[in-house]
Every structure is written in structure tokens, then in C-alpha cells.
Structure 1
Amino acid sequence: MTTKVAFLFPGQGSQNVGMGADVFAASDAARRVFTTFDETLGFSLSDLCFQGPEETLRSTINAQPAIVAVSLAYLAAFQEALSPHNSSWTTPLAPSYTAGHSVGECTAMVAAGTIDIKGVAHLVRERGRLMHEEEEICPGGMAAIIAMKEDALQQVCEDATRQCLQQLDQKAQQHPGMGRVVLANYNAPGQIVISGEQKALDTACALAKERGAKRAIRLSVSGAFHSPVMQPAATKLAESIAATQIQDATYPIISNITAQPITGASDLRSELSRQIAESVQWTRTIEYLAAQGVKVFFEIGPGQALAGMIKRITRDVDIINIGSVEEIEKAVARVKEF
């Protein structure tokens, strides 16, 4: 096949109660994914995905492994539908590149052969646990700022941080995220997500609207991801990553941090630990893939958030969603046209 394709995987915030239930019922390959996650984690993650409750599923410690499990289940079912007796993460349809948004990057690493399913189950559960721990120590959140230029929003974050730091005593400033808010996710032109400690985030949202932002939309996440609030979690996660078997990638993974391809195991280890406290360069990721001639983007997993972003970043590409059994059937038909 000459058409270049990329497999893309969503991050936290895409979860919903009921996700994956249809593919669990329809696909042996998908059931194996869920069973492996359940057995590895020691509880029924699949039941949590299918039945909730929503509040429990939304918690960072659960949402992260849940999204990775569901995304991998749909990928496995899709490849199985293409070739029932000869399928793997990248067979029969092999991507030219893989990428994931935030925790979706962990899914991409499985698809690229760098880590096995048991390893990623343990890793994303620990990733979620450590990030949840920092949520409790330094509460915060994230907000999408609509229709504000990057440089203006950067100034908003700097001003909000300065105001909040001036109001903190020296003891409170000992946590690296306290009083700070930063640009976190460069999702698409006109949509940048900011992230930070709660008061700093509130201050920045108010300033952004005062200075012309169309909207400030709070995200369905419980912490200040991709900000200094998560720096202690990144340091601790590096220890878990060091104990995890990770190998070179079969297909290039586009880094959240640099928007450049990485394949080496040591670079992947660094990426996994650093990215939870650094910005997600999603706009640059899609621009890079388009510049490399990728014409078909598969968004594999719950929701269609990535498709919406891609449409705002580039044109003249096909976006195929795989987040239901019905969408798998449509995707198989599309692949046969390549």
C-alpha cells in the first residue's frame, strides 16, 4: 500500500461510561485486551468502562488505563476484522507513524511495539496514581481558551502566575506547581489549553476573557496535567519507567514534547516521564505528519476529539474514526479502497 497512514490515540477526557462494551461483545481480539488489563491490574477495569460509575471512571487513576485499554481493544478488533487469522497491532494495516495525545502516547507505544500490553497496563495505572497524588497535594485543573493568540495567552499565564506567587507565603511555594499556570496543550489554531494550580488557573481564565478570549472551557480532568504541578510525579514516574521493559519502536512515534519522530528506547523512556509535566505539541505533530505525506489519519479510541483538532490544523486529509463496532466496519471498507 502506497498511502501513508498514521494511527492516533486519544487522551484523558475522552472517557465515557459504556465505552468498549460493543467491541468486547463482538471481537475475540478485543476481549483478550480487556482480559489482560483486568488480570494484570487485579480488578475488572472492563466493568468500570462498561458500567461506571462515571465519577469512578473519571478519576485519573482509573481513566488513564481505561482509555488505553479501550483504544487498544478497538485497534485489535480493527486489525482482526481486516484479517481474522493473521492480525497484530500493525498487521495487516501497518502505519507509517503513530502518535497519541497525552496518555494516548502510551497507547501509541504499544502499537509501535515498544512495550507489551501487561507492561503498559502497569505503567499507566502507576502514571495515573502518581498524577492523582499530585492532584491531592496541589489541586488544579485545565481549561481550553478559545480564540486567543498564543503570545497573548502566554502573557496571561505569566501575569496570573506573578499575581498568585506574590500572594503565597514561602512554605506554599515549595511545591513547584503552587501558584503557577502555563500553556499546556497546543491542540489546534485558536484552541490552546492552559493548566495550573487552581487559583492561578481561575485567575488566568478571568484575565483571558477580559483580554478578548471568546471562551474559557474547563476540561473534564481532575488535575493540572502538563504543568509544573506534575513535576514531582514525573520524577517518580521515571523510576517506574526504568523498571519497565521498553524496546526500540518498529514505527516512529511522534513526540508530544518536540513533535518529532522518536524510535530509540532511551528516548522513549525520557519522553514518557517528561511529558506529563511538559506541553503537548499537538498542532505541530499533525503539521509534521502532513508534511511527511500522511494522507489518512485513524483516530482509534473513544470519542472524536482528535478528529476535530485535525480538521482545524490541516486540509486535504482523510480522518477515519474507530471508536465503535459500526466504525470498524466502515473503516475496513475504506481500507479496501486504498
Structure 2
Amino acid sequence: MNAYIFPGQGAQFTGMGLDLYEKSHEAQALFEQANDILGFHITDIMFEGEADALKQTKVTQPAIFLHSVILAKTLGDSFKPDMVAGHSLGELSALVANNTLTFEDGLKLVSKRALAMQKACELQPSTMAAVLGLDDDVVEKICAVTPGIVVAANYNCPGQLVISGEVDAINNACEALKEEGARRALVLPVGGAFHSPLMEPAREELAAAIEETVFSEPTCPIYQNVSTTAITSADEIKANLMAQLTAPVKWTQSVKNMIADGATHFTEVGPGKVLQGLVRKINRDAQTASAVFEAES
């Protein structure tokens, strides 16, 4: 069975999507529609903007979403997912890919998500850190006994977990994790504590927008970050998406469940190859590839 997976924040690069824009009339029309929806020329920043401009959350999230979704739409008849999943932001790309959301509604939600997260980041100094070389339960225990807010945020693959929370709590947890034997406990260059209780203001704002958006029955199951299991109910998808901003991204568990349900081939749709690497670390036998656009003849 073919699983299609969609990356999240961090996969962006200057020039992303330019080949699609130049070689596909359909892609060009969607990018121009996106400029109109967003109210600024995101294509200028994506195609030739400075790296710092592309790193702004309000730009990064829509840019990655657009690259992923437009690439999927240009694959034509070869795009036949049996199941989909997305890492954090990528979940919204996956929901357009399996027809739960329209392109326009998906982009509007991504834009609202990015702006709401940016606002939440500005309310309180917070950050995230990557922890390598420890079992998940050890990391969870240290987070639980560290003063302040610090939680497991991204279960990326065995031995790689990202924690999220208040700056002091993250720094203290990193020291404790190193003492416990972590190969690395490295604070990441991010401006906020994504997938932690500190995102509650953003969750509330996004939930209101999700409530007003039409969710259709999907054409194939999605394995969501919160539930990790095959979901086909529009109402369940909606509830899980509302919970996502303050809940951990359970990527390891999702990929294991996809494989248990028959996934043999994982195709990453969007910038970068990060998710392919994670899938192979979760299961060495899984086949992985990047979605490749073929120019119109």
C-alpha cells in the first residue's frame, strides 16, 4: 500500500516551488490564487527571498503547505494514496491531499495557524530542544520532574525526541538529560514552544477557525499526530486537528501503525527528505521516495 507523507516547518529553502511554477500551468494558477488569498506575494519570498524572510512563521508555514499541496496536485493520475499523514503543519497538507479540505480552506487555516502561533510565541519566552540517544520514557520522566513547563513534543523516531516549554525549564531539562546519558540535548533555533501547553492561546484561535470550515469525508484514511490511527470520520479529523497545537506529534507511533495496516512504500511530498529518514529509522524495511514532478508535455 502507498502512504504519502507531508513535511512540517523546517523543510523550507529559497527557490522552493519555482520549478513547479515555471513548468506547470496548473501550479502557476494555484500559486497566483495563493497570493490573492494571503494578501501578499508569497511566491516572491519562496522563489527568491532571503532565508530570514522565509523563516518567519507567517511565511514558512504557508510556503511549505503550498509546495506540498501544489506538487501533489501536479502529480495527476500517479497520485493515488492508500493513506496519508503529515508532520505537524504537514497534517493540513495531507488533509487537502485526501480531499478533506479544499485548497483554499486549507491555505486559510494554515495562514491563521501561523499567525496564531506567532502571537502565542510572543506572549512568553519559550523554546524547544532536540534530545538524542535516550528512550522516550526516560525523557518523559525527566520532563515530569523538571520545574516549570516542559513536555515531550515530537516523537520523531526511536532515540530522537523533541521537548518543548519555557526557556528555563528547557535549559534545566537539557542538563538533566545529558546527565542521564543523552547523546545530545540541543536547544533549537525556534521562537516558541510548539506542541506544548504554551500554545493554548493559538489552539483556541485555530479551533474557532476550524469550527467554521467545511470538512468533507476523506478519500483515504489519515493518520493524525494526536490519534496515530487511521481516521476517516470528518468530525474526528476536526477534533484531532483542534487538539494538535498543544498535543505532541506522535510520528513514530503513526508510522508504525501505517506499516501495521499495510503501508510498504512511503512517498514524501514537499521540500526536503527529513520524513523519509525518520521512516527508515522507525522501520529499516520501509521503502521511501520523494514525489517528483514531471513537466507538462
Q: TM-score, normalised by structure 1?
A: 0.84
Letter in 1 for 2:182: A
CA distance in structure 1 between the aligned counterparts of 2:175 and 2:33, rounded to whole angstroms: 45
Aligned twin of 1:42: 39
Q: Check the 8 A contact 1:13/1:220 in 2, yes or no.
A: no
Where does 1:202-241 land on structure 2 (aligned, <5 Å)? 202-241=171-210
Q: Check the 8 A contact 1:59/1:222 in 2, yes or no.
A: no
CA distance in structure 1 between the aligned counterparts of 2:21 and 2:223, rounded to whole angstroms: 29
1:299-329 Cα shifts (integer Å, max 9, x gaps):
011111101101100122210113xxxx435
Aligned twin of 2:230: 261
Q: Check the 8 A contact 1:33/1:72 in 2, yes or no.
A: no
Q: Check the 8 A contact 1:12/1:221 in 2, yes or no.
A: no
Q: Check the 8 A contact 1:24/1:31 in 2, yes or no.
A: yes
SS of the residue 2:272 aligns to:
coil
CA distance in structure 2 between the aligned counterparts of 1:131 and 1:328, rounded to whole angstroms: 31
CA distance in structure 2 between the aligned counterparts of 1:71 and 1:292, rounded to whole angstroms: 24
Q: Check the 8 A contact 2:20/2:293 in 1, yes or no.
A: no
CA distance in structure 2 between the aligned counterparts of 1:295 and 1:26, rounded to whole angstroms: 31
Where does 1:167-316 land on structure 2 (aligned, <5 Å)? 179-316=148-285
SS of the residue 1:226 aligns to:
coil
CA distance in structure 2 between the aligned counterparts of 1:317 and 1:153, rounded to whole angstroms: 27
Stretch deviating more after TM superposition (112-121 or 21-30):
21-30
Pair 1:108-2:73 in alignment: no
Pair 1:117-2:103 in alignment: yes
CA distance in structure 1 between the aligned counterparts of 2:118 and 2:3, rounded to whole angstroms: 31
CA distance in structure 2 between the aligned counterparts of 1:46 and 1:265, rounded to whole angstroms: 31
**Any runs of at least 4 consecutive aligned residues in structure 1 with deviations exceeding 6 A, and if so which?**
none
Where does 1:18-167 land on structure 2 (aligned, <5 Å)? 18-77=15-74, 79=75, 87=76, 91-160=77-146, 162=147
1:265-319 Cα shifts (integer Å, max 9, x gaps):
2112112211011011101111111111211100011111101101100122210
Structure 1 residue 226: deviation in Å?
0.5
Q: Check the 8 A contact 1:256/1:280 in 2, yes or no.
A: yes
1:181-215 Cα shifts (integer Å, max 9, x gaps):
10011100000111112111111112211221001
SS of the residue 1:275 aligns to:
helix
SS of the residue 1:185 aligns to:
strand
Structure 1 residue 220: deviation in Å?
4.4
SS of the residue 2:249 aligns to:
coil
CA distance in structure 2 between the aligned counterparts of 1:32 and 1:294, rounded to whole angstroms: 33
RMSD: 1.4
Aligned twin of 2:293: 328
CA distance in structure 2 between the aligned counterparts of 1:308 and 1:92, rounded to whole angstroms: 23
Q: Which has the larger radius of gyration?
A: 1
CA distance in structure 2 between the aligned counterparts of 1:226 and 1:293, rounded to whole angstroms: 29
Q: TM-score, normalised by structure 2?
A: 0.95
Q: How many equivalent pairs are there?
A: 294
Structure 1 residues 69 and 220: CA distance shift in structure 2, 3 A: farther
Q: For structure 2, which runs of at least 5 residues remain unmatched after alignment?
A: none
Identity %: 38
SS of the residue 2:264 aligns to:
strand
SS of the residue 1:298 aligns to:
strand
Q: Check the 8 A contact 1:58/1:221 in 2, yes or no.
A: no
